[in-house]
Amino acid sequence: MTTPEVDIVVPVRVGPANEQLRYALRSWAANLPHRHIWIVGHRPAWAREVRHLPTQQADTKYQNTTAAVRAACLHGEVSDTFLLCNDDFFVMQRQECGMPVLHRGPVSLVESYYERRSAGQYLRGLRETRDLLAGLGHDDPLSYELHVPLPVAKDQMLKALDVGRSLTAVHKRTLYGNLAGIDGEEIRDVKVLNRSPRFDRGSPFLSTMPDSFANGLVGQHIRSVFPRGCRYEAGSR
């Protein structure tokens, strides 16, 4: 569990208005106790009362997000433990006791799932990270590649990023979680990949793809739960 003194760190790529981020911010303001929110990378023009840490985004998305996490870990004003989020993570229920540590189960089972989906670079990165962990004595590592906030200790994440520096698509959450020994509770991933009406409306966490957010029932559900602007949006009070 984390405390309200932690910051939220969210890498954001250059792009348009980013409505997923807008609603993610609303969900964090309502349900995820924190101190500051740090947008690392691109800050949309409408975002306010957030801390901003600009980064270069000239590489792959994996390398860009890794650089963003490293920049946050090196920044003296970011809390020593922070919550690592993506801009499409929605916290649907109040986390009164702070954010728990959650994982996806053994990497071997996650690998089997992505083998059926032919996930390309993501799958290669999973295998590279698994092999690296195995060489360090973690024969049956856990996957922390969930679409939920992850509590991160800056010093331990920096060590993990240094260990995985040679990997082109390092699974940094997984590498960090195993090397730091954070354990946690196993859940199924909450990412809703398409417009299907089949999603858990009672889940405390949800995540979307751009299309499922804009056009799917899951996006309608998220927008209905957070209809009002929050302090992180220009024009909101």
pTM recorded for the entire structure: 0.95
Q: Strands 102-103 and 185-186: what pairing?
A: parallel
Question: Measured between alpha carbons, how far is 54 from 191 in angstroms, rounded to an integer?
Answer: 27
Question: Measured between alpha carbons, how far is 194 from 179 in angstroms, rounded to an integer?
Answer: 33
In this predicted model, what pLDDT tens digit does every residue of 65-112 receive, in sequence order?
A: 999 999 999 999 999 999 999 999 999 999 999 999 999 999 999 999
Report the CATH number of the 7-225 domain: 3.90.550
Please give the pLDDT value at position 115.
85
Please give the pLDDT value at position 118.
65
Please give the pLDDT value at position 198.
87
Question: Measured between alpha carbons, how far is 72 from 66 in angstroms, rounded to an integer?
Answer: 10
| Average pLDDT, consecutive stretches of 10 residues, N- to C-terminus, the chain (237 residues) | 85 90 98 98 96 91 94 98 98 96 96 81 94 97 98 98 95 98 97 91 97 96 98 83
